[in-house]
Amino acid sequence: MQSARVDRLPMSSPSDVSPILALLQSGAVDPLQIIAILGKTEGNGCVNDFTRGYATQSLRSMLSGDLNADQLGAVSMVMSGGTEGGLSPHWLMFSATEAPATLGASLAVASIATRELSPSEIGTPAQAALVREAVRCAMAKAGIATPEDVHYVQIKCPLLTSERIDAVGGNVATRDTLKSMGLSRGASALGVAEALGEAPPATEAMIGSDWSRWSSRASASAGVELMTCEVVVMGMSQDWAGPLAIAHTVMNDAIDAVAVQDLLNTIAPDAGLQGAQDRLVAVLAKAEACPDGAIRAQRHVMLEDSDVSSTRHARGFVGGVLAGLTGFTDLFISGGAEHQGPSGGGPVAIIYRKDKHS
Amino acid sequence: MQSARVDRLPMSSPSDVSPILALLQSGAVDPLQIIAILGKTEGNGCVNDFTRGYATQSLRSMLSGDLNADQLGAVSMVMSGGTEGGLSPHWLMFSATEAPATLGASLAVASIATRELSPSEIGTPAQAALVREAVRCAMAKAGIATPEDVHYVQIKCPLLTSERIDAVGGNVATRDTLKSMGLSRGASALGVAEALGEAPPATEAMIGSDWSRWSSRASASAGVELMTCEVVVMGMSQDWAGPLAIAHTVMNDAIDAVAVQDLLNTIAPDAGLQGAQDRLVAVLAKAEACPDGAIRAQRHVMLEDSDVSSTRHARGFVGGVLAGLTGFTDLFISGGAEHQGPSGGGPVAIIYRKDKHS
Amino acid sequence: MQSARVDRLPMSSPSDVSPILALLQSGAVDPLQIIAILGKTEGNGCVNDFTRGYATQSLRSMLSGDLNADQLGAVSMVMSGGTEGGLSPHWLMFSATEAPATLGASLAVASIATRELSPSEIGTPAQAALVREAVRCAMAKAGIATPEDVHYVQIKCPLLTSERIDAVGGNVATRDTLKSMGLSRGASALGVAEALGEAPPATEAMIGSDWSRWSSRASASAGVELMTCEVVVMGMSQDWAGPLAIAHTVMNDAIDAVAVQDLLNTIAPDAGLQGAQDRLVAVLAKAEACPDGAIRAQRHVMLEDSDVSSTRHARGFVGGVLAGLTGFTDLFISGGAEHQGPSGGGPVAIIYRKDKHS
Amino acid sequence: MQSARVDRLPMSSPSDVSPILALLQSGAVDPLQIIAILGKTEGNGCVNDFTRGYATQSLRSMLSGDLNADQLGAVSMVMSGGTEGGLSPHWLMFSATEAPATLGASLAVASIATRELSPSEIGTPAQAALVREAVRCAMAKAGIATPEDVHYVQIKCPLLTSERIDAVGGNVATRDTLKSMGLSRGASALGVAEALGEAPPATEAMIGSDWSRWSSRASASAGVELMTCEVVVMGMSQDWAGPLAIAHTVMNDAIDAVAVQDLLNTIAPDAGLQGAQDRLVAVLAKAEACPDGAIRAQRHVMLEDSDVSSTRHARGFVGGVLAGLTGFTDLFISGGAEHQGPSGGGPVAIIYRKDKHS
């Protein structure tokens, strides 16, 4: 049986792959067993964030010593920019080892990439359909039996640049490059929602507009460095063994600490918040500035600040909410939660040790 | 006997004084009874933040209908820029009314302004000494008997600009205008620390350098719009009556939710977090990027981000921590906590209703 | 006969009206003779730029000593944010005095404000129509005989905020507040173009899309501080006397120094560039990032920079081009040139002394 | 005899080395003949600009197919971040080929790297001394006979980060990471000044303070991606052949177009500005916000803008001045001109074809 391993590792710069290299060189992780590497890099998380491509290039360069092109291509690399506030740049490496069967379900992970999109498809129902299929394939690959067993789907999807817009003669969903990031994230999320039975197939009118449609487990991040969608599905499966589990909740707004507190309480009901914190392995979440301009009827300024992107504001702020609850700052918080959780809120997943001593 | 009243009011822009005007026009507050008006405005909180001056000008213009120049001069106006993340721009108006004596101590407030500083004094021991004297005067004015009864000192202090530097021939603590804000805040805080018996008199070598010296109750904010230091002292006094009280704690780092949780637990021990939240009237706090570049040994990037000032990062992030705990976003969080709480942490004060039904 | 006077005055902060006050107090300018005051303030020129409102409030407060409400309402106040690069914040005050008739035409100026717009009208053909009518009225008021005699139309127009969008139930041209600035500027410019016979009436499909439609003399600036459109028309008229004249050209792209050089050469053909510079009284221009992402086939990054708005980039850059040619930095350069000159370029007007010794 | 070749090539992103690769694959340039590759990348040019490291990594990866480690180490790679305004990201590749002797002197280029600096040496006289020696070595290597024959020295030097500061126990010239960039650039420039006989040896008191000391030909750029100083010396030498030449001037302030115009006039005195533009191969310049806060007595706001670094403002603005004069936007303008040209101004070098038809 397979057992999932998750390593949360510091990153001193976008090119700092040394903590991963050390793990590989120690033999603790076999390069062939890596399923996906997520990176929370310190760029602005917006259009001109090259820390994502730099991190990916650094990873590829490091792994190319051990893996051939096909093997390298099978490793999902999902870089998400933005560690505002006190958030800490880090890697999350998912790998699988052989392990004896254990009782009950365990964390299961699989990844898949769609074909390259045309710039004309970015932010459209065509992108949603590609993601939907990728989620289904990845579920099958991971042995995750039902949509209910899926607890997080991390997606990296492309965005539009001036050059890409020109390449298709301006036949694109939007000419605004920053806005294209939101449409791409939104289309991806609606693809997840459809795959998980949370929403009907995405339409053009729905993407970026009908905020009543959302997935409780999608997390999409857009970046300039790819033209495919990389999809990493995380869930619980009887086919997997090992000490790890995953669970999720939905924050109803940016300060919905109660939802997360309740989720944490399910981990170690008798051990209090500190007991839950001790078992946390990774936290993944989405954040966004509520599009109606207010949080609990009080105005926020994130959408009116022309100096700092609202996605940067939101990541740092929700980062504070979650760091206060979890006690650490290397949280994988991704900005721009279009169709990912309710308007102004977002999904949160925790990966944790099922047992105190594991 | 005097009774303190605190109104927390929304602000739709820096010039929106309408909620205050409504209160005055309704008769609920007499303009002559206003002690201080704090404003959390939506600028960047740094050197070129004109929302502070704009708000002050708007307040003065509104109040000049009711108050003569002397009366107007007696109202402290302390504008603090920066409502990053989901923080909400707002006013905190402190006023005093006659009320029957009540049992025990109640919230007491008084304000005082120092003389105008020379640009050469900004960020120096001379500024600290002026603030120290102002704190002592304000304590006497408010009838706050001992330093222990002081729970928060909000200060607005000046900063250096290119013009002010030139005006004194470059004879200044620093030629870096952004840095001058930190030195000014730091000098102010050390003045408070000395007044409250927390630290010896400030020296040049101490200001902006020796982070082991700090006040647990100082909150200083620097702005381009004044050359005096405005000092508002808040504490508990037997000379005051009424339903309100104030308490404080110190966050040891930016994610020290436990300290604040413990403080909230003292308000309504049997009513849980929700019970405490229901009694909150105002929250005031300081935030800063820990100068050593890490939070609980994990790297943060606030000090290396040349696009967004570290003070903006810190306000939004600590804003998230506190909003998660308090359930609201119009928190008076001021950035740049030099000598205000330990390195990377900061003082937090809560004003609350002593009784559930008050 | 009337004679136009133009004063270009420094501004040490958005509230620094002292150089204007000094002129009024000296008797050089009669407050009743002020037609318009333009201000180039040092904010970001985007949605949350409160320096415009702050400057306006400061002007109103200063002038209210001399002018009653109606008289004050007749003075156009057009604040434009953004002095990037080495641009210098300044005021341009236009006033008119009685003077003996002079030979030939002279600078003529008049201003008018439209009624307040509904948020639903911002950025739509309705706004264009209101501006068109205002231009025609102002031409008549100034005695400017033909559209060819109009050399610049400076407009201040409103933008959408989250609150304004909500106030009309989301029935707006765009929900993106930053984008609303461009649509508002574009609609205004197309109104000018129609009034001057440069383009047919604006349609919804034209605004913000059909860049082949533009005015060679419109300059629009959007701001949060008003809901009307303020329209200041500048041209040449036989009805006006005095030493000043105005001329204009169009930069075909952001680095079209040749067009401006040619314009300057017409002022003092025998006196060289220095001779022309000596006669300059004011320079007004528009700047924008070319929407196709390139200048003379070389990529620019203004539209992909998520840290700094493209309007800020463009103002500073075109400011450099023009400062190199004119030898001074208090140039009234306004960003966002939608339908104002060709795509990537923009109108430039110069006000100058007709005679060397005047 | 050697002949210098300079290729100015577009860059669609920091990792886009394809135009260089195409030249190498075409046989036009032999990888072994590359002396230096300069890159003007599109990051913020400040502390957290990772586009420089990303570009360097991309170059190394591309060249490692053709060059061994020693050969690769001999190629200077000098990345300078920041293409504000309409500036265009690009590469400048310097290579040398064998060529028949030609009459007179031609462009000569050589590069050298110092040893790695300790963080404690950054921004100190020790760094200046290392750079001075490197300049002298590179002159000898290039066969540049006298200091007068040196027309530009491009330096890439290191900066301080929180981690580097900690690594030497805080024993550094400044704890402010952004400020460390200025001190490092300044120390480098004073090293050049000494080597060229323009200033005495740098002292601690001189660096970052005594602006009367400067080099007319130094251009230093600081980056996080190296700990050595890379020094590229460009000049004229009788030992070199070929069609290219280099000349320089000094802008006395940010809008000193006259100095550059005069320089251009020396290239093709009879052919006018257009004639000079046609012969330009590359333009290299420095830009900075004048520390006294004004340009020709008019206030600029670059040093008071806490949203956008003054180096970003200055690059875009001076970029406008130079693009207006040269007619193109891929100008190698580097920000932060401490001790590089007079206060507020900076050196400008042009590489051009000596003959119209070459």
Q: Known catalytic residues of A?
A: 156, 221
How is residue B4 written in tokens? 């303190």
- HSE-CB at A187 with a 13 A cutoff on CA atoms is 28
* 3-state SS assignment for residue C329: coil
The amino acid at residue A15 is S
Rounded Cα distance between B198 and B182, Å, is 20
Q: State CA C313 to chain mean position distance.
A: 18
Ranges A167-181, D83-97, D309-323: which has the least confidence: A167-181
Can you tell me the mean pLDDT for B274-302? 95
pLDDT value, residue D358: 57
The tens digit of pLDDT for each residue in B146-156 reads 999 999 999 99
* 3-state SS assignment for residue C1: coil
Rounded Cα distance between D187 and C237, Å, is 59
Contact of D354 with chain C, judged by CB distance below 8 Å, is answered with: no
Question: Is it the case that residue C358 has pLDDT exceeding 60?
Answer: no
pLDDT value, residue C311: 95
**CA angle, C123 then C129 then C133, to 5°:** 135
Contact of D298 with chain B, judged by CB distance below 8 Å, is answered with: no
Contact of D13 with chain A, judged by CB distance below 8 Å, is answered with: yes
pLDDT value, residue B357: 63
| Cβ contacts of D148 within 8 Å, gap of 6 or more | none
Q: β-pairing, A230-237 with A150-158? A: antiparallel
Can you tell me the mean pLDDT for B277-285? 97
* Sheet strands side by side (includes C240-241): C76-81, C34-41, C90-98, C2-10, C240-241
How is residue C17 written in tokens? 């009206």
Interface test with C, best of B18, B41, B50, B226 (most C CBs within 10 A): B50
* 3-state SS assignment for residue B263: helix
Contact of C358 with chain B, judged by CB distance below 8 Å, is answered with: no
Rounded Cα distance between A302 and A139, Å, is 36
Give how far D49 is from chain B: nearest CA, Å.
Answer: 8
Rounded Cα distance between D119 and B154, Å, is 39
Which string of b and e fits B19-40 if b means at least 16 CB within 10 Å? bbeebbeeeebebeebbbbbbb
Q: Which helix (H) or strand (E) holds B273?
A: helix B272-279
Rounded Cα distance between B119 and B164, Å, is 6
Q: Known catalytic residues of C?
A: 156, 221
* 3-state SS assignment for residue C159: coil
Rounded Cα distance between A96 and A153, Å, is 18
Contact of B45 with chain C, judged by CB distance below 8 Å, is answered with: no
Bin D73: left if φ > 0, else alpha if -120 < ψ < 50, else beta: alpha
Give the end-to-end CA distance of chain C in Å, rounded to a whole number.
18
Rounded Cα distance between D237 and D142, Å, is 8
Question: Which among B44, B301, B305 has CB closest to D306?
Answer: B44
Give how far D64 is from chain A: nearest CA, Å.
Answer: 12
Work out the mean pLDDT of chain B and round it to a whole number. 95
The tens digit of pLDDT for each residue in B157-209 reads 999 988 899 899 999 999 888 889 999 999 999 999 999 999 999 999 999 99
Contact of D261 with chain A, judged by CB distance below 8 Å, is answered with: no
Residue A355, Cβ neighbours under 10 Å: how many?
10
The residue among D248, D252, D276 whose CA lies nearest residue D348 is D248
Contact of A303 with chain C, judged by CB distance below 8 Å, is answered with: yes
CB–CB contact A175 C44 (8 Å): no
The tens digit of pLDDT for each residue in D92-104 reads 999 999 999 888 9
Q: Which residues of B touch D162 (CB under 8 A)?
A: 292-294, 299, 303-304
Contact of D330 with chain B, judged by CB distance below 8 Å, is answered with: no
- Nearest Cα residue in chain A from B287: A85
CB–CB contact B162 D49 (8 Å): no
Q: Which helix (H) or strand (E) holds A250?
A: strand A244-251
Q: Which residues of C touch A44 (CB under 8 A)?
A: 306-307
Interface test with B, best of A11, A309, A313 (most B CBs within 10 A): A313
> What subunits touch chain B, counting only 3 or more CB pairs under 8 A?
A, C, D
Rounded Cα distance between D331 and D92, Å, is 10
Q: β-pairing, A298-299 with A294-295? A: antiparallel
What does residue D126 show for φ and ψ, rounded to 5 degrees?
-60, -40
Rounded Cα distance between B208 and D205, Å, is 21
pLDDT value, residue A117: 98
pLDDT value, residue B269: 86
pLDDT value, residue D132: 98
Out of B80, B111, B156, B184, which one is annotated catalytic? B156
Q: Are D191 and D128 in contact (CB under 8 A)?
A: yes
Distances in Å between the Cα of C122 and the Cα atoms of B283, C111, C115, C159, C180 are 39, 20, 12, 7, 8
Interface test with B, best of C12, C44, C50 (most B CBs within 10 A): C50
How would you class A146 by CB atoms within 10 Å of its CB: exposed for 0-12, middle for 13-18, buried for 19 or more? Answer: exposed
Interface test with B, best of C54, C159, C313 (most B CBs within 10 A): C54
Question: Is it the case that residue B239 has pLDDT exceeding 90?
Answer: yes
Number of H helices, E strands in chain C: 9, 15
DSSP string, B105-154: -EEEEEEEEPPPPPGGGTTSHHHHHHHHHHHHHHHHHHT--SGGGEEEEE
Rounded Cα distance between B325 and B328, Å, is 8
Q: Known catalytic residues of D?
A: 156, 221
Question: Which among B163, B293, B306 has CB closest to D48?
Answer: B306
How is residue A50 written in tokens? 């090259």
- HSE-CB at D145 with a 13 A cutoff on CA atoms is 7
- Nearest Cα residue in chain C from A224: C304
How is residue A83 written in tokens? 């560690």
Rounded Cα distance between B356 and B344, Å, is 34
DSSP string, A141-203: HHT--SGGGEEEEEEEEE---HHHHHHTTT-SS-S-HHHHHHHHHHHHHHHHHHHTTSSPPP-
Task: Taking each helix axis as running N to C, give the angle between helix C51-63 and helix B51-63, from 0 to 180 degrees, rounded to the nearest 10.
Answer: 30
Q: β-pairing, A150-158 with A218-223? A: parallel
Contact of D355 with chain B, judged by CB distance below 8 Å, is answered with: no
DSSP string, B57-82: HHHHHHHTTT--HHHHHTSEEEEEE-
CB–CB contact B13 C57 (8 Å): no
CB–CB contact C175 A46 (8 Å): no
Q: Are B132 and B189 in contact (CB under 8 A)?
A: no
The tens digit of pLDDT for each residue in C45-92 reads 998 999 999 999 999 999 999 999 999 999 999 999 999 999 999 999
pTM of the entire predicted model: 0.95
The residue among A152, A21, A39, A49 whose CA lies nearest residue A87 is A39
Q: Which helix (H) or strand (E) holds D137?
A: helix D125-142
CB–CB contact D176 B175 (8 Å): no
Can you tell me the mean pLDDT for B117-124? 97
CB–CB contact C61 B57 (8 Å): yes
How is residue C41 written in tokens? 């303030």
Rounded Cα distance between B337 and B150, Å, is 18
Question: Which among C86, C298, C305 has CB closest to D329?
Answer: C298
Rounded Cα distance between D137 and D122, Å, is 21
Contact of C168 with chain A, judged by CB distance below 8 Å, is answered with: no
Rounded Cα distance between B208 and A25, Å, is 44
pLDDT value, residue A315: 98
Contact of C42 with chain B, judged by CB distance below 8 Å, is answered with: yes
DSSP category for residue C352: E
Q: Which residues of D touch C295 (CB under 8 A)?
A: 86, 88, 323, 329
Question: Is it the case that residue A358 has pLDDT exceeding 70?
Answer: no
The tens digit of pLDDT for each residue in C85-127 reads 999 999 999 999 999 988 899 999 999 999 999 999 999 999 9
Can you tell me the mean pLDDT for A85-108? 95
Q: Are B216 and B248 in contact (CB under 8 A)?
A: yes
Q: What is the ipTM of this complex?
A: 0.94
The tens digit of pLDDT for each residue in B326-349 reads 999 999 999 989 999 999 999 999
CB–CB contact C309 A306 (8 Å): yes
Rounded Cα distance between B138 and B200, Å, is 20
CB–CB contact A308 B312 (8 Å): yes
Q: Which residues of C touch B86 (CB under 8 A)?
A: none
Which string of b and e fits B126-151 if b means at least 16 CB within 10 Å? bbbbbbbbbbbbbbeebbbbebebbb
